[in-house]
Structure 1
Amino acid sequence: MNEMDDLDRQLTAAFDGKVVRKDLLHRIKKGTNVPTFVLEFLLARFCASDDQAEIDAGMEAVLATLQDNYVRPDEANAAQSKVATKGKHRFIDKVHVRFVEKEKRHWASLENFNSQRIAVGEKFYRDNDRLLEGGIWAEVSLAHNAIDEDDYAFYIEDLRPIQLSRFDFQHYSDTRRNFSRDQWLDVLMRSVGLEPSKLSSRVKLHYVARLAPLVEPNYNYIELGPRGTGKSYFFSEFSPYATLISGGQATKATLFYNNARRKVGLVGYWDTVAFDEVGGIKVRDPDTIQIMKDFMANGRFSRGAEVIADASLSFVGNIDMSVEQVVNSTEYDLFQPLPPELDLAVMDRFAAYIPGWEMPKNSSEFLTSRYGFITDYLAEAFHFQFKHTNRYEEVSRRIKLGKAVEGRDEKGIKKTVSAFLKILHPDGPPTDAEFETYVAYAVECRRRVKEQMNKRKPDDEFAAIHLSYRNANGDEIVVFCPESKHAAATQEPARRSLKVIDQPRAASEQTHQVSESPAASVVGLEATRAELSEQHFTILYGDTGYSYESLMGPYLRGAKEIVIEDPYIRLQHQIQNFVRFCEAAVKAGTVKKIQLVTSFEDQAQAVEAGNKLEDLKQSLIEADVELDVSINQNLHDREIRLDNGWTIKIGRGLDFYQRPGSWFELGTSDLSLRRCLETKVDIFKCSAAA
């Protein structure tokens, strides 16, 4: 290795014991199928030094440990014999635990030990729940069971996950202040094994974007590009908190929820679930894609039970066509490799499309021999921020986007910028110039998504592709994608000729009257704001067909602020009703603030309900909606006021549904199928917003 440079010296001094020379990894990586974070875990144990003699001795210890404890797949029988002969032995391997329903017990397996019936104590899979979903790399002590009557030969005596036992985020963020942004960016590049001097500034941003789902919850992105550019590396090698699904079938039970076992799938256990070779994904049940759409949109889904999870979804795959030809083609787009199940609705939920064709091919030319963070240490820093930090509000206060930026564009752009702040500025806000760099990059990556959808869609639904932002001087900057800026086939795609036949409207469609028979008129209401009419009617006992979205959704459109006065948002089911109302408000697409005025019977109830409403408040922040809760103990009447002029009065407030006879009957999840209590509904326009 060359003599330490200035950045090496600065990094080793600031993060003593938490950095390692990356060329050591390259030397031991060959010939082992062990993830980078596992190897660097061992390097950190033996080689976290800048003294060459200590490093040499440490390397011998690492190689000896791998020789003695890592089992290659073709050595499984010898490994079993070693345990039987010695009585026990320690291995480094990926451990899985599965529940066998027929036997009503759990069994463990090691990937390279070739035994599916290793007894495992409850403590191990209770303390490490990811053993049950995807498995974890660990140092595991296997012992031999000499009792002939038992139906297993081996059992786990001890198991230690390969990850840091303690992580101090405060030290990590405080020490970041010793580095400039560009220095920190170079540290990150070296930490993932790359030499930053060989990479352009733009390519460095691409690598940072690959890290985004490891720090930002519910962040969805796609990267398509040539083979051999390391698209799946961060999910298979870099972090113990990410899991990679390589092709094959993606099922509801595996990904989202197993109804039979009443267990959440991968999205409940991992920070990031990545789909490799996304073009080869097979989906047997179309319902899987619908659940995926719901989850990608808001981090929740309902499948017998409502599940909320933070996992980000990453889609990576190969593109075998010339990008230049595709962007200039009227027939093809850059989503061409995706299977038909991943339709426009899925694509629209991608916050970013990383241009994988700009990434360098894996080559020793780009590998670094300098110091970088121990991979596991950096993965812990990202995991901490994934779970405990939120930069979305900071971005929302600071960013100014153009008029062409629509709802999902805005959310995707903000989440990308939020991820960049966590990765590059864990210690505080960036400068205006740095912030503008991240915004421009985020806008470009979202525009790439929208351009390709616009090519596919025969109408103008996604035609607003000229996304822009305002810089610190107030100038509007329209951002283009380099590959398609001058491609007319992408900027102005040909539309199918749609023949429109004008027909006279029926008299009943031309006249707006106050409805006295509400169900049909309210449920089917799809009118624009200009066509909305006042409604005065009674929901009868036992009626169905009324959800918050069908009842109030059309009137919520265009509203930015909602004031809801209801003294009975206090019990579990009442708060759940309020959550459903908020979901309807978010779907309206324009609501930015919800003010709830309610009351409680006593302090204990106020605390319990307040905790639940605080969870809702944090969730709404991710949808860029502010929730403000105030208490008025004298409140009695119920009323919903919208700043677009409409007022909605429901006699029973939001609590007008009957309790289901069983939580497994129709109407449990879909309120339009739930039977109602009798109540009056008045929807009317005020001369001015309240």
Structure 2
Amino acid sequence: MQFEMEMDDLDSKLNETFDGKVVRKDLLHRIKKGTNVPTFVLEFLLARYCASNEPAEIQAGMEAVLATLDENYVRPDEANAAQSRVATKGKHKFIDKVHVRYVEKDKRHWAALENFGSQKVAIAEKFYRDTDRLLEGGIWAEVTIAHNDIDEDKYAFYVEDLRPIQLSRFNFEAYCEGREKLSRDDWLDGVLRTVGLEPSKLSPRLKLHFIARLAPLVEANFNFVELGPRGTGKSYFFSEFSPYSTLISGGQATKATLFYNNARGKIGLVGFWDTVAFDEVGGIKIKDPDTIQIMKDFMANGRFSRGVEIIANASMAFVGNIDQSIEQIVRSAKHDLFLPLPPQFDLAVMDRFACYLPGWEMPKTSSAYLTNRFGLITDYLAEAFHYQLKHNNRYEEVSSRLKLGSAVEGRDEKGIKKTLCAILKILHPDGAPNDDEFFEYVEYAIECRRRVKEQMNKRKPDDEFALIDLSYFDPEGNEIVVHCPETKGVSATLEPNRRTLSENFDGDNHEDVNQSDGQTLVQKEATISVAPKEPAADLKEVHYSINYGDTGHTYDSIVGPYLQNAKEVLVEDPYIRAQHQIVNFVRFCETVVKYPTVRKIHLVTSYDDKTDMALLNEKMDELKQSLLEVDVVFTVELSKVLHDREIQIDNGWTVKIGRGLDFYQKPEGWFTIGANDFSLRKCLETKVDIFRDSGS
């Protein structure tokens, strides 16, 4: 074997900046071909034995890695032999994944090794106290298992020593400090080398494609789809790169497996993984229609109901193969680029995709694209992504910096911004990019969302998704429309022929046929007489009084009708500081977020010398994070002097309530009617004036 390598500039920078957290990737490729050990485990051993650039030392280190795997790695079919070895020798060191769980019946904690075959291995408190993740999904570790010779004890094995292979602690600040020392391009290339690719072989566009593949691992509730030819490595990042991702390979996807098992009272895969990825998505079999409905709910906002309200952060990634020519598909009047998706994936599912990565542009996996240079240890980068998915929200930063064009609708905006957030987390965890970098990412994110909308527009027989010219405004105020390269100038996609519901369709036309119970969706729709929608009643200016003791007045009934098509709401109320006043304001926000066009709520309120500012800030921060989860930016402006009470809506309407939001009486008791349902809560006397700005 040849181990000589002259370090280039990026190798030197990575070794200097992330000392102890880098590894030569060519060594990984050589070992990986002969074993099914996870990548991050192999890199742990390589970092220990091959942390050198001297050929002789690397040769000896490689031999040590192979010997360690042969002696210590537990293979699933060798569990009985491993237990026998411990019983015979008294103890032995293994490389395995270790879980710790508390068993209520036994009133103690037990360890379980994934491949060792025992579910009741005794473990001392010091191990799981110092390494939290043993209790939260388990970790790969070097673990010394000893045999217990005391006959009275109810266990045969115990953990004598444990050294985590995955990081047991991660310092995000140190990670950001390291990133800050590298340029954007150096860091981008460093990330690509970390996942095993040689960036010098890739174009700038291909580099962004590979970064986009990582997006579901770093952005919560990110819905991603990649369809393309076989052999391009679509599923690798979800099966090998991160210990926080799981890959479902075909078969049936049930609501109990994915979301919640009612019989066992346990959450499914979305509660345990950062990313749930579906390989060979075209082969997914979903028999229960409830599964698709729950999936739609979860993809929309990260929550669903199965008897209980469940909230989870998992992203969903769908990867599959396209066997047809892309050029023929985009020029076809019958077919679209969602062709490989299963028939149960209707337009409502597709509309929830934030990013459609053009898999047909990705190169076939080959050694020509693999790097033989240094990159970060895979687990270190995976930990950084896991931390940011849980703790780092860049949505407000993106929203404040980006102005989108009028064709960008609600789900377009959400998808574009979530893709942007993911790219910023990956490439700029330490701060904001410059304008050139930021708008490069903007164009890419808009393209990825436009690809989704173009194909939905092609499939839909009416103009629901016809606004496909998604655009943004650059720093000079110029509006720039973004196109997808495969469809630019192709009228069959950009100006599809509209089909009527009464038309007869060819049964092999995939995008027109959506099988359900043996009947096509189009045929079903053709039998339904759809009445035209009644126009919304014209809103009028109103002025009325609420009398003392009146009921039936809520924020929904007073303000709700005037929130149609609103994007921003400004609330001026000097008294949002006491507990019940803040609770009222939260109820008002709950009314606002029911209108999907609203993207920002700004509160102007006041305080006095008696106000507990720390407590007020804490509650407002909690509300801010909650609103960000539904893609609404919340800002607060505090003033010592404020007297006006009004709600200004950017569609031109102003709502003035004499008492502000606090016009309810305190209930006579918390177990009386009206205590919880505010439509039954008695009111204080106040006036309501709703009028339209004369300039609107």
- What TM bracket, shorter-length normalisation? 0.7 to 0.9
Aligned to 1:686: 691
Describe how 1:298-309 pairs up with structure 2 within 5 A.
Answer: 298-301=301-304, 307-309=310-312
The 1:168/1:464 distance shift into structure 2, 3 A limit, reads same
Aligned to 2:198: 195
Deviations 1:506-533 (A, max 9, x none): xxxxxxxxxxxxxxxxxxx996473467
The 1:613/1:269 distance shift into structure 2, 3 A limit, reads farther
What is the alpha-carbon distance in structure 2 between the residues aligned to residue 369 and residue 71 of structure 1? 28
What is the alpha-carbon distance in structure 1 between the residues aligned to residue 648 and residue 283 of structure 2? 49
The 1:605/1:86 distance shift into structure 2, 3 A limit, reads farther
Q: Note if contact 2:542-2:689 (Cα within 8 Å) is conserved in structure 1.
A: yes
Of stretches 480-489 and 172-181 in structure 1, the one that deviates more from structure 2 is: 172-181
Q: Note if contact 2:542-2:691 (Cα within 8 Å) is conserved in structure 1.
A: no
1:181 aligned onto 2:188: no
Q: Note if contact 2:674-2:682 (Cα within 8 Å) is conserved in structure 1.
A: no
The 1:174/1:58 distance shift into structure 2, 3 A limit, reads same
Aligned to 1:274: 277
Aligned to 2:316: 313
The 1:651/1:234 distance shift into structure 2, 3 A limit, reads same
1:28 aligned onto 2:34: no
The 1:174/1:533 distance shift into structure 2, 3 A limit, reads same
Of stretches 343-352 and 150-159 in structure 1, the one that deviates more from structure 2 is: 150-159
What is the alpha-carbon distance in structure 1 between the residues aligned to residue 620 and residue 7 of structure 2? 53
Quote the offset at 1:355 in angstroms. 1.1
The 1:565/1:476 distance shift into structure 2, 3 A limit, reads closer
Describe how 1:13-412 pairs up with structure 2 within 5 A.
Answer: 13-96=16-99, 108-118=111-121, 135-148=138-151, 152-251=155-254, 255-256=258-259, 265-283=268-286, 286-301=289-304, 307-412=310-415
What is the alpha-carbon distance in structure 2 between the residues aligned to residue 205 and residue 380 of structure 1? 21
Quote the offset at 1:100 in angstroms. 7.6
Q: Note if contact 2:645-2:658 (Cα within 8 Å) is conserved in structure 1.
A: yes
Aligned to 1:676: 680
Normalised by the length of structure 1, the TM-score is 0.81
1:612 aligned onto 2:619: yes
Q: Note if contact 1:656-1:676 (Cα within 8 Å) is conserved in structure 2.
A: no
1:421 aligned onto 2:433: no
Aligned to 1:530: 538
Aligned to 2:464: 461
The 1:606/1:239 distance shift into structure 2, 3 A limit, reads same
Aligned residues: 658
- Structure 2 spans left out of the alignment, 5+ residues: 503-532
Q: Note if contact 1:540-1:676 (Cα within 8 Å) is conserved in structure 2.
A: no
Aligned to 1:507: none
SS of equivalent to 1:362: coil
Quote the offset at 1:634 in angstroms. 9.4
The 1:98/1:548 distance shift into structure 2, 3 A limit, reads farther
What is the alpha-carbon distance in structure 2 between the residues aligned to residue 85 and residue 689 of structure 1? 90
Aligned to 1:445: 448
Deviations 1:290-323 (A, max 9, x none): 4444443344455565555443332223333333
- Structure 1 spans left out of the alignment, 5+ residues: 500-524
Q: RMSD in angstroms over aligned alpha carbons?
A: 4.2
What is the alpha-carbon distance in structure 2 between the residues aligned to residue 129 and residue 251 of structure 1? 31
Quote the offset at 1:491 in angstroms. 1.1
Q: Note if contact 1:527-1:554 (Cα within 8 Å) is conserved in structure 2.
A: no
Q: Note if contact 2:131-2:168 (Cα within 8 Å) is conserved in structure 1.
A: no
The 1:575/1:198 distance shift into structure 2, 3 A limit, reads same
Deviations 1:373-414 (A, max 9, x none): 121222233334434444433433333322211222222222
Q: Note if contact 1:569-1:578 (Cα within 8 Å) is conserved in structure 2.
A: no
What is the alpha-carbon distance in structure 2 between the residues aligned to residue 277 and residue 462 of structure 1? 27
What is the alpha-carbon distance in structure 1 between the residues aligned to residue 575 and residue 47 of structure 2? 58
Describe how 1:508-587 pairs up with structure 2 within 5 A.
Answer: 528=536, 530-531=538-539, 534=542, 552-559=559-566, 560-563=568-571, 565=573, 567=575, 570-571=578-579, 575=582, 578-587=585-594
What is the alpha-carbon distance in structure 2 between the residues aligned to residue 303 and residue 600 of structure 1? 42
The 1:273/1:156 distance shift into structure 2, 3 A limit, reads farther
Q: Note if contact 1:591-1:625 (Cα within 8 Å) is conserved in structure 2.
A: no
What is the alpha-carbon distance in structure 2 between the residues aligned to residue 132 and residue 539 of structure 1? 57
Of stretches 267-276 and 354-363 in structure 1, the one that deviates more from structure 2 is: 267-276
SS of equivalent to 2:538: helix
Aligned to 2:523: none
What is the alpha-carbon distance in structure 2 between the residues aligned to residue 551 and residue 286 of structure 1? 38
The residue identity in structure 2 corresponding to 1:215 is V
What is the alpha-carbon distance in structure 2 between the residues aligned to residue 283 and residue 239 of structure 1? 27
Q: Note if contact 1:134-1:266 (Cα within 8 Å) is conserved in structure 2.
A: no
What is the alpha-carbon distance in structure 2 between the residues aligned to residue 113 and residue 187 of structure 1? 36
SS of equivalent to 1:213: helix
Q: Note if contact 2:226-2:356 (Cα within 8 Å) is conserved in structure 1.
A: yes
SS of equivalent to 2:225: strand
The residue identity in structure 1 corresponding to 2:624 is K
Aligned to 1:484: 487
SS of equivalent to 1:588: coil
The residue identity in structure 2 corresponding to 1:183 is D
What is the alpha-carbon distance in structure 1 between the residues aligned to residue 290 and residue 555 of structure 2? 24
What is the alpha-carbon distance in structure 2 between the residues aligned to residue 183 and residue 379 of structure 1? 19
1:647 aligned onto 2:655: yes
The 1:134/1:621 distance shift into structure 2, 3 A limit, reads closer
Deviations 1:191-248 (A, max 9, x none): 1111222222221111011112233333222112233222222222212333334444
What is the alpha-carbon distance in structure 2 between the residues aligned to residue 31 and residue 162 of structure 1? 20
What is the alpha-carbon distance in structure 2 between the residues aligned to residue 480 and residue 526 of structure 1? 35
Of stretches 228-237 and 606-615 in structure 1, the one that deviates more from structure 2 is: 606-615
Of stretches 375-384 and 71-80 in structure 1, the one that deviates more from structure 2 is: 375-384
Quote the offset at 1:135 in angstroms. 4.6
Aligned to 1:628: 636
Quote the offset at 1:22 in angstroms. 0.8
Q: Note if contact 2:122-2:157 (Cα within 8 Å) is conserved in structure 1.
A: yes
SS of equivalent to 2:339: coil
